[in-house]
Structure 1
Amino acid sequence: MRKVLFVCSRNRLRSPTAEQVFSTRRGLEVASAGTNHDADVPLTGDLVAWADIVFVMERVHAAKLRQRFGKHMKSTRLVCLDIPDDYAFMDPALVALLESKVARHLR
C-alpha cells in the first residue's frame, strides 16, 4: 500500500479535494494536511514521516515542509503540483487538474 499525503495551506480546498479524489484508488492510502497553523488538519512530522510521497500544491508549501519537517522526510518523495489557490472544494476543473498532474507520479 502506497501512502500519499496532499498538502496545501489551510487544508480546506485543494488538498482535501485531492484526498477525496484519490481515496478510492486501489493500492493507495491517502491523507491531507495544511502548512498554516490554522489549517483544518495541520501538517505534522508524523504525517510527513508516514508518507511515501508528498504532493504539495505550491512551491511555498515545499519550502515550509522542508524547513519544518525535513528531518522526517528520509526517503519521502516530494512533488510540487503548481496548482494555485483558485478553486473551490471539489471544483470539476480542480479535480481534472489533479487527476492529470498526480496520476503520472503514481505509476
Structure 2
Amino acid sequence: MKEDRPKTKEKREKNWKLLYLRSEKLARARQLGIDYPNPSSRPEIEDNEPLNLLFICSRNQWRSPTAEAVWRNHPDLRSRSAGTSPNARRRVSADDIRWADAIFVMENKHRSRLQAEFGRVVANTPVHVLDIPDEYQYMDPELVDLLKASVGSILGLP
C-alpha cells in the first residue's frame, strides 16, 4: 500500500502541471480574444483519469448542487459541490480544494472568499468564475443550460 502513494503523488503532480498549463493558456487566449480550448486542442489527462471538478456557491443550496448533478454522470469527470458560507449545507474544506483539479465558482465573491480562507491551498488550482447570479432554484432548466454551456466551453466538452 505504501508503494502506491508515491505513484499517486507523482501522477497528481503531472495532472497539476497539465492543468496549470491549461489555465495559463486559457487566460492568455481570453486576453487575445481567442476561443480556447476547443475540443481538438484540449490537453489530455494521463491515463484518461477523470477530472475532479468542485462547484462552489454561497450556501450550497441551489447553484452548486445543480452543477454537481449536471456533471456527475459525465464519464470523464467527477464532481462535488460546497458552499463558502458558515450556514452552507456542505461547507468547502481544504480537502475539497486539494481533491479538485479545477474549481468553478458562481460569482467573484466566492473566489475572493476561497483565496482569503484557503490562499496557499487554492493557489495551485485553476478557479473559474461562471458569473451565475443567485436567482435560480435547484435544477432550474435555465440554470442547467447555463452550467452546461459555460463549464463545457471552459473544459472543451461538447
TM-score bracket for the superposition, by shorter chain length: over 0.9
Gaps of 5+ in 2: 1-49
| 1:93 paired residue number | 142
Higher relative contact order structure (alpha carbons within 8 Å, sequence separation ≥ 6): 1
Larger Rg: 2
Q: Is the 8 A contact 1:8 1:58 kept in 2?
A: yes
Gaps of 5+ in 1: none
* CA distances 1:5-45 after superposition (whole Å, capped 9, x unpaired): 00000000000000000001111111000000110000111
Q: Is the 8 A contact 1:52 1:75 kept in 2?
A: no
Q: Between Structure 1 and Structure 2, how many residues are aligned?
A: 107
Question: TM-score under structure 1 normalisation?
Answer: 0.97
Query: Greater strand percent: which structure?
Result: 1
SS in 2 for 1:94: helix
| 1:105 paired residue number | 154
Q: Offset at 1:74?
A: 4.3
1:21-100 → structure 2 map (5 Å cutoff): 21-100=70-149
Question: TM-score under structure 2 normalisation?
Answer: 0.66
Aligned match for 1:19, one of 62, 68, 74 = 68
SS in 2 for 1:29: strand
Segments of 4+ moved more than 6 angstroms? none
- Percent of residue pairs identical: 44
RMSD: 0.8
Query: Greater helix percent: which structure?
Result: 2
